[in-house]
Structure 1
Amino acid sequence: MTERRALTILFADVSGSTRLFETHGDEVARRLVGSVLTALAEVTARHGGRVVKTIGDEIMCTFPGPLYGLLAATDMQRRIKNDSTFAADNLAIRIGLHHGDALVEEHDVFGDAVNTAARMADKNLARRDQIVATASTVQGITHTTGLRVRSLGQIRVLGKQAPIEVVDVLWQEDLAHVTTVQRVMQAVAASDRSRLLVRFKSQVFELDEGTSFSIGRDPTSSLVVETEWVSRNHALIEWKRGYFMLADRSTNGTWLKIGDDEELLLHRDETHLRRSGTISFGQAHPLDSSDLTYFQCGDA
């Protein structure tokens, strides 16, 4: 059965694979490329996406909306960049994505939106370590999530009569050397209210200044984390004194990591959240990043 549905479509292509086959041989190279694709598939699942197919050294995924796809894309880049095995073989990825209507079948997705997304990931447009998206995909998102973009201008896409505007999604932590685009394609009215994006697995929450956000095993919590080392009423995020404050109320404590700073343990104490980082409830940051809660501060 075929149905038309609005989806965010993402293509990720492994950069450096050709040289890998030349230097390591087919078997080793194929195994390494397969490891990259497996890692990308894991990130896709954590963000509520679906892997449609892999084509050689490329993966095609779909997500229910632009925010899921954009967050997955940034996590994909960080996952590959921070893996020492991939770095040793100079492997990287380039990503392209677009949100639009597509024809969905049981095992595949078709249509103009797919073609546009594939064009974003083309090596003639996207470079290694880069995320390229259509401007319409990021419209209305960047101010409320902290995701930052810069315009790459307009390009012509096969099958489109008019050129379309594309952007570079900036995923690196250190962006001091990059000019960021503070507008969100003029479609969003300016607001002076602060926002905080909180993400745990496939759940994404947008908090504003009036929000009280509870975390714990209690089923009435705003974010329910069902693990034995998390207390029933573990932590609380509130807007206080001009900041989003994280307060620990637990038995085992809460670990906070902001950017590349050292991990901080909170126990029956509170601190303000700034920039972006990760939170681990009840234990120090585990090796499995899927158990972490991510946050990003930003102004609407």
Structure 2
Amino acid sequence: MSENISATRLNTLIDEPDQEFDVRAALFFQGKEYALLPSNLPFQIGRDETVCQLVVDSELASRNHCAIVMKDGQLGLLDTSTNGSVVKFGRADSIVVHRKFLPLAGQGCFKLGEKIDLNDPNLIMFKVTKVGVAS
């Protein structure tokens, strides 16, 4: 009896301190676009307008709820909140992130502290088209 074995190869970037990353990503919130550039990372999201670049007026959002950061060569959401974040990639099921890092790729949306309702005005959309070492 022969078994078919399949494998997935993952190419991983080595994060060296002086490496520059080329990021093509943006957040969209209440009709406004926020470009995510290496120069403005970490990009803070939460209720506190004195430290956050994207302010969300919600009782379930922490003052400094989460950040978009570059970690190990990957752009992602780092949740530091009390209530967690819910992330949805395309048509996939939602993922709850609480005090962890989740890499972002492609496009999707996330919500601070509560489940995703696609009609919610506090839904944050994201689009990541390129992450890699700058040439």
4+ runs of 1 displaced by more than 4 Å? none
Answer whether contact 1:256 1:266 (CA < 8 A) is retained: yes
Q: Match of 1:277? A: 108
What TM-score, normalized to structure 2? 0.75
CA distance in 1, matches of 2:114, 2:72: 28
Query: Does residue 230 in structure 1 map to residue 61 in structure 2?
Result: yes
Q: Match of 1:4? A: none
Report the secondary structure of 1:233's partner residue: coil
Q: Match of 2:26? A: 197
Q: How big is the shift at 1:294?
A: 0.4
Query: Does residue 209 in structure 1 map to residue 38 in structure 2?
Result: yes
CA distance in 1, matches of 2:80, 2:58: 16
CA distance in 2, matches of 1:247, 1:256: 11
Question: Which structure 2 residue ranges, 5 or more long, are not aligned?
Answer: 1-20
Give aligned pairs, total.
109
**Deviations 1:255-284 (Å, cap 9, x if unpaired)?**
000011110000111110011000011101
Question: Which structure 1 residue ranges, 5 or more long, are not aligned?
Answer: 1-191
Determine which of 85, 88, 92 is the counterpart of 1:254.
85
Higher RCO (C-alpha under 8 Å, 6+ residues apart): 2
Q: What amino acid is the match of 1:212? A: P
**Deviations 1:65-101 (Å, cap 9, x if unpaired)?**
xxxxxxxxxxxxxxxxxxxxxxxxxxxxxxxxxxxxx
Q: What amino acid is the match of 1:213? A: F
Q: How big is the shift at 1:202?
A: 1.8
Answer whether contact 2:110 2:125 (CA < 8 A) is retained: yes
Report the secondary structure of 2:121's partner residue: helix
* Mapping of residues 261-272 of structure 1, within 5 Å: 261-272=92-103
- Structure with greater strand share of residues: 2
Q: Match of 2:10? A: none
What RMSD, in angstroms, separates the aligned Cα atoms of the two structures?
Answer: 1.6
What TM-score, normalized to structure 1? 0.35
Q: How big is the shift at 1:240?
A: 1.7
